[in-house]
Amino acid sequence: MTHVLILGAGPAGLAAARAARSRGARVTLVDSADAVGGQYWRHLPEQRAGANEESLHHGWDRFTALRQELEADGDVRLMHSTSVWAIDRDGEGALRVHATEGPADGPGREPHTLSADAIVLATGAHDRTLPFPGWTLPGVFTAGAAQALAKSERIAVGRNVVVAGAGPFLFPVAASLSQVGANVVGVFEAARGGSMAKGWLPRPWSLLRASHKAGELVQYVSNHVRNRIPYTLGSAVIAAHGTAHVAAVTIADLDTNWAPIPGSERRIAVDAVCVSHGFTPRVELAVAAGCELTSERFVVTDERLESTVPGVFAAGEITGIGGVDASLVEGEIAGLAAAGLTAIPTKLRRRHRATTDFARRIEAAHGIRSGWTSWLTDATVVCRCESVTAGAIDAATAASEQDALRSVKLTTRAGLGVCQARICGRTLEQLIGTHPGGGIVDNRPIASPIRLGELAAASTLSRTEHENTTLIEKESPHE
């Protein structure tokens, strides 16, 4: 029986697991969270499930059906609270996935070394947040974190909240905040009307394949009207103000390049700010596996979603930011292909083309423009972990003769903190982009934190494994 190992249990990972099982494969599904669903279907814990859980979700019935089907399947092994910390190759060149099982902040996590006939990477993405003066103040959240708290804990991050950034994601975040009691003072979209039109209006007939999105948009607009939430195009939070906590933000109108228009600034009193300027794909495991990336830093795949590494497939946001529909169809394709299907059905390929078209429109309409760097002052912190400012980065960049990224990291420690450049990496590259040596910031041999004792236990496990037997095979209920 073919064994498929899937890393990530969000929409793409769940769809991949179901598709692989439909081809008769045995599936291991790994996720760092304590429940499946990913960020999109994040929900209250089972022990205190909400009566109206679906009110904060789209496609909730689809999710519950997927979850129940996989949980009831004896050939699906679900590994919750399991963090993958490395991918390497054994002595014969086969890929090995190293993981620890158990709560990240708990003792006694169990080490695992996993291998399979095929691997599906469905690791998703996290918020991309552009820095601005005051963004390190308590009360400034990523939009994704605010939505996660609303979905999984029914907690509003503040009483009077501003949502700002770029992209369709701002709508569901505002809706989630409203539903848990926050007063959303306004939603500020950085893209101007002209950019939005260029992204969404060409070839309108192709949007018919995503017509259900219109229904979602109507719901979000209705939420804005019902809660009297202003929605403003071509504007952004360019500064946050406060001492121990955020107390106000400065909003400015932006030109087409996202540079603030002088004289347009106004201050709004708030106690929380939620920002998201798009998403950063989580590709460190793909890089560790040896997968090639595009210039936009997505995993290169063929029509079967196989990467440049044979037997390694990619699905969801790591191939392009296209939303849940793209993740579901890509998960299905990758799962089928990983389980041995060589010819993807025409209908499925057509659905995939429709979702990739939607992803291109999002980038065209809401993609980051270079003028945002004029929001920064020399004192603005860029690397939060190491408290490195924009001024320090500019000075280090100017002093670099070659390989500017490496020089800046070594001289300022930017990107070398706890998050390992997950938050500031793309920003660093943009700030030094006119200098040589832009380099990749996604190479993280240790992909998630691991204690030294756990590392020693993992090394012992690898040494004592039987030569041709994987840990999965040893623990399989069918052996």
Q: Residue 153: pLDDT above 60?
A: yes
CB 329 within 8 A of CB 348: yes
CB 221 within 8 A of CB 116: no
CB 425 within 8 A of CB 284: no
pLDDT value of residue 319: 96
52/254: higher pLDDT: 254
Q: Residue 295: pLDDT above 70?
A: yes
Q: What is the mean pLDDT of residues 140-166?
A: 94
Highest mean predicted confidence (pLDDT) among 99-108, 400-409, 460-469: 99-108
pLDDT value of residue 455: 85
As a whole number, the mean pLDDT across the chain is: 88
Q: What is the mean pLDDT of residues 427-444?
A: 70
pLDDT value of residue 354: 84
Q: Cα(168)–Cα(286) distance, rounded to whole angstroms?
A: 27
Phi then psi dihedrals of residue 3, to 5 deg = -110, 125
Q: Residue 464: pLDDT above 80?
A: no
pLDDT value of residue 91: 83
Count of C-beta atoms within a 10 Å radius of residue 333: 28
Of the candidate ranges 26-35, 194-203, 309-318, 415-424, the one whose mean pLDDT is the lowest: 194-203
Q: What is the mean pLDDT of residues 263-268?
A: 98
pLDDT band, very low/low/confident/very high, at 215 (cuts 50, 70, 90): low
Q: What is the mean pLDDT of residues 8-37?
A: 96
Structural domains of the chain, with CATH: 3-126+280-344 (3.50.50.60), 129-277 (3.50.50.60), 376-431 (no CATH)
Helix axes 323-338, 11-22, angle to 10 degrees: 30
**Residues forming a β-bridge with 189:** 165, 233
| DSSP character string of 19-42 | HHHHTT-EEEEE-SSSSSSTTTT-
Q: Residue 434: pLDDT above 90?
A: no
pLDDT one-digit tens code per residue, 112-149: 999 999 999 999 999 999 999 999 999 999 999 999 99
Cα–Cα distances (Å) from 47 to 35, 43, 144, in that order, read 12, 11, 24
Residues sharing a CB contact under 8 Å with residue 338, sequence separation 6 or more, in sequence order = 4, 16, 20, 25, 118, 119, 120, 311, 313
pLDDT band, very low/low/confident/very high, at 246 (cuts 50, 70, 90): very high
Q: Determine the Cα angle at 44 with ends 42 and 48, to 5°.
A: 165
pLDDT value of residue 466: 42
pLDDT one-digit tens code per residue, 377-409: 999 999 999 999 999 999 999 888 777 888 888
Q: Which of 260, 229, 285 lies closest to 447 in space, CA to CA? A: 285
Residues sharing a CB contact under 8 Å with residue 145, sequence separation 6 or more, in sequence order = 127, 157, 274
pLDDT value of residue 48: 63
Count of C-beta atoms within a 10 Å radius of residue 22: 13
Q: What is the mean pLDDT of residues 235-241?
A: 98
Query: What's the count of helices (H) and strands (E) in the chain, helices before strands?
Result: 14, 20
466/287: higher pLDDT: 287
Q: Cα(182)–Cα(160) distance, rounded to whole angstroms?
A: 6
Q: Residue 174: pLDDT above 70?
A: yes
DSSP, collapsed to helix, strand or coil, labels residue 72 as coil
Percent of the residues in the chain that have a pLDDT greater than 90, as a whole number = 63
Q: Cα(303)–Cα(305) distance, rounded to whole angstroms?
A: 5
pLDDT value of residue 461: 66
pLDDT one-digit tens code per residue, 329-355: 999 999 999 999 999 999 999 989 888
